[in-house]
Amino acid sequence: MIELAQPTLTQAVTSSEEINNASARLRQTVLETEISPNAVIGVFDSWAKKLNTLDLDAAPGISFLRMWLRRGTLEPIVARELGPNSLHGRWHDYGRAKCKAFPVGVVGHWPAGNVEIQPILSMTCALLGGNAAIVRIPSGLFEVTQRIMEKLVECDTEEVLTRRIFMAAYDHSRQDLQEAMAKSVDGAMIWGGEEAVLQIRSLPFPHWTRIAVFGPRISVAAMDAEAWSDPENQETWCRRIARDVWQFDQQACSSPQVLFLEKKGNGESTAQFLLMLQRAFEIENRAHPRRAIAGALTSAICRARASWLLKDTTHKAVFPVGPDWTLLIGSGSDVPSPTQGKTLTVLEVDDLGDAVAKFDGNVQTLGLAMADSQKESKVALLAGQRGVDRIVKLGQMHVFVPPWDGVDLIRPMVRMVRHVSSTEGENAK
Amino acid sequence: MDFEEKIESLLTVPPYSACPLDKHAGLLSILREELVYACQRHEGYRNYVHNWPIDYQSASLVADLPYLPVGILKTDPPLSLVDRAEIKRTLTSSATSSQQPSRVVVDSPTARRMTKGVVAIVRDFIGSARRPYLVVDTKDLMGEAALGARGAAIQGLQPFASVVTYCLTLNDQGNLALNRGRLEEFANFHTDSEVLVYGFTYILWNYLVVPLMSEGIRLNLPKARILHSGGWKRLQDEAVEKTLFNEQLARTFGCTPDRITDFYGMVESVGVIYPDCSEGNKHAPLFGDVIVRDTLTLKPVGEGEQGIVQVCSVLPSSFPGHLLLTEDRAEVIAYDGCPCGRRGISFRFAGRIPKTEMRGCGNLQVNRSLLN
DSSP string computed for A60-71: TTHHHHHHHTSH
Contacts with B68 from chain A: Cβ below 8 Å: 306
Alpha helices, H only, B179-275: 180-189, 201-204, 210-214, 233-237, 242-253
Kindly report each contact of residues A1-4 with a partner whose C-beta sits within 8 Å and lies 24 or more positions away, as own/partner: A2/A139, A2/A142, A2/A169, A2/A170, A2/A171, A4/A142, A4/A146, A4/A169
Determine which of B54, B296, B361 to mutate to test the interface with A (most A C-beta atoms within 10 Å): B361
pLDDT of residue B35: 96
- The answer to whether A216 contacts B357, with C-beta atoms less than 8 Å apart, is no
Q: Are residues A128 and A77 in the same domain?
A: yes
Residue A143 lies in a domain: yes
Per-position b or e across A120-139, b if 16+ CB within 10 A of its CB: bbbbbbbbbbbbbbbbbbbe
Contacts with B358 from chain A: Cβ below 8 Å: 114, 193, 251, 296-297, 340
Contacts with B372 from chain A: Cβ below 8 Å: 361
Angle made by CA atoms B362, A341, A193, in degrees to the nearest 5: 20
Determine which of A109, A303, A346 to mutate to test the interface with B (most B C-beta atoms within 10 Å): A303
Q: Are residues A243 and A366 in the same domain?
A: yes
| Domain of residue A337, CATH code | 3.40.309.10
Chain A closest-CA separation from residue B225 CA (Å): 36
Q: Could you say which of B71, B363, B372 has the minimum Cβ distance to residue A216?
A: B363
Contacts with A319 from chain B: Cβ below 8 Å: 53
Q: Rounded CA gap, A371 and A347, in Å?
A: 19
Q: Rounded CA gap, B362 and B360, in Å?
A: 5
Q: Are residues A226 and A353 in the same domain?
A: yes
Chain B residue with the nearest C-alpha to that of A191: B361
Residue bearing the bigger pLDDT, B237 or B36: B36
- The answer to whether B359 contacts A196, with C-beta atoms less than 8 Å apart, is yes
Tens digit of pLDDT for each residue in B73-115?
A: 988 788 999 999 999 888 887 765 456 888 999 999 999 999 9
Residue A151 lies in a domain: yes
What's chain B's Rg over C-alpha atoms? 21
Residue A5 lies in a domain: no
Residues in chain A with pLDDT < 70?
A: 1-9, 54, 56-58, 425-429
Q: Could you say which of B43, B48, B296 has the minimum Cβ distance to residue A306?
A: B48
- For chains A and B, count residue pairs whose Cβ atoms are closer than 8 Å: 168
- Domain assignment of residue A201, given as a range: 10-215+405-419
Backbone dihedral angles phi then psi of residue B359, each to the nearest 5 degrees: -95, 10
Q: Are residues A389 and A410 in the same domain?
A: no
Contact (Cβ atoms closer than 8 angstroms) between residue A343 and residue A325: yes
Q: Count of residues for chain A?
A: 429
Q: Rounded CA gap, B337 and B344, in Å?
A: 7
Q: Are residues A138 and A173 in the same domain?
A: yes
Q: Could you say which of B53, B362, B366 has the minimum Cβ distance to residue A255?
A: B362
The answer on pLDDT for B367 being more than 60 is: no
Q: Are residues A355 and A415 in the same domain?
A: no
Chain B residue with the nearest C-alpha to that of A193: B361
Q: Could you say which of B44, B53, B362 has the minimum Cβ distance to residue A216?
A: B362
Cis peptide bond prior to B77, omega within 30° of 0? yes
Contact (Cβ atoms closer than 8 angstroms) between residue A200 and residue A112: no
pLDDT of residue B279: 94
Name B16's Cβ contacts closer than 8 Å, sequence gap at least 6. B124, B283, B285, B286, B341, B342, B343, B344
- The answer to whether A306 contacts B43, with C-beta atoms less than 8 Å apart, is no
Q: Rounded CA gap, B208 and B169, in Å?
A: 12
Contact (Cβ atoms closer than 8 angstroms) between residue A208 and residue A188: no
pLDDT of residue A221: 98
Contacts with A292 from chain B: Cβ below 8 Å: 296
Number of Cβ within a 10 Å radius of residue A392:
17
Which domains does chain B carry?
3-85+279-352 (2.30.38.10), 114-264 (3.40.50)
- The model's pTM is 0.87
pLDDT of residue B90: 87
pLDDT of residue B100: 80
Determine which of A255, A302, A324, A363 to mutate to test the interface with B (most B C-beta atoms within 10 Å): A302
Q: Count of residues for chain B?
A: 372
Tens digit of pLDDT for each residue in B306-342?
A: 999 999 999 999 999 999 999 999 999 999 999 999 9
| Domain of residue A38, CATH code | 3.40.605.10
Q: Could you say which of A307, A322, A340 has the minimum Cβ distance to residue B362?
A: A340
Q: Are residues A282 and A150 in the same domain?
A: no
* Distance (Å) of CA A65 to CA A52, A116, A135: 10, 10, 17
Residue A282 lies in a domain: yes
Per-position b or e across A192-211, b if 16+ CB within 10 A of its CB: bbbebbebbeebebeeebbb
Strand pairing report for B288-293 and B306-313: antiparallel
Residue A425 lies in a domain: no
Q: What share of chain A is helix, strand, coil (3-state, %, to 5)?
A: 45, 20, 35
Residue among A243, A221, A212, A198 nearest A349 (CA) = A221
Q: Are residues A251 and A169 in the same domain?
A: no
Residue A398 lies in a domain: no
Number of Cβ within a 10 Å radius of residue B301:
19
Name A126's Cβ contacts closer than 8 Å, sequence gap at least 6. A107, A109, A132, A133, A187, A189, A413
Q: Rounded CA gap, B222 and B191, in Å?
A: 7
Residue among A389, A402, A344, A341 nearest A114 (CA) = A341
Determine which of A282, A299, A316 to mutate to test the interface with B (most B C-beta atoms within 10 Å): A299
Beta bridge partners of A110: A190
AA letter at B279: E
- The answer to whether A313 contacts B356, with C-beta atoms less than 8 Å apart, is no
Contacts with B363 from chain A: Cβ below 8 Å: 114, 192-194, 216, 251, 338, 340
AA letter at A222: A
- Average pLDDT value for chain B: 89
Q: What ipTM does this complex have?
A: 0.90
Chain B closest-CA separation from residue A218 CA (Å): 5
Q: What is the per-residue DSSP string for A345-376?
A: EEEEES-HHHHHTT--S-EEEEEEE-S-HHHH
Contacts with B71 from chain A: Cβ below 8 Å: 299, 303
Chain A residue with the nearest C-alpha to that of B360: A114
Strand pairing report for A256-262 and A218-223: parallel
Residue A400 lies in a domain: no
Q: Rounded CA gap, B286 and A4, in Å?
A: 50
Q: Are residues A174 and A259 in the same domain?
A: no
Residue among B224, B212, B219, B285 nearest B260 (CA) = B224
What's chain A's Rg over C-alpha atoms? 23
Q: Rounded CA gap, B41 and B107, in Å?
A: 14
Q: Are residues A116 and A164 in the same domain?
A: yes
Chain B residue with the nearest C-alpha to that of A341: B358
Contacts with A338 from chain B: Cβ below 8 Å: 362-364
B222: confidence class by pLDDT, cuts 50, 70, 90: very high
Q: Are residues A245 and A148 in the same domain?
A: no
Strand pairing report for A414-419 and A97-103: antiparallel
Q: Could you say which of A251, A291, A299 has the minimum Cβ distance to residue B360?
A: A251
Q: Could you say which of A193, A322, A359 has the minimum Cβ distance to residue B361?
A: A193
Q: Could you say which of A307, A320, A338 has the minimum Cβ distance to residue B53?
A: A320
Chain A residue with the nearest C-alpha to that of B63: A321
Backbone dihedral angles phi then psi of residue B90, each to the nearest 5 degrees: -115, 120
pLDDT of residue A7: 40
- The answer to whether A295 contacts B357, with C-beta atoms less than 8 Å apart, is no
Q: What is the per-residue DSSP string for A181-247?
A: HHHT-SEEEEES-HHHHHHHHTS---TT-EEEEE---EEEEEE-HHHHT-TTTHHHHHHHHHHHHHG
% of chain B exceeding 70 in pLDDT: 92
Residue bearing the bigger pLDDT, A306 or B2: A306
Chain A closest-CA separation from residue B52 CA (Å): 8
Residue among B164, B157, B162, B161 nearest B121 (CA) = B157
Q: Is B210 exposed, middle or buried (0-12, 13-18, 19+ CB in 10 A)?
A: middle
Q: Are residues A258 and A334 in the same domain?
A: yes
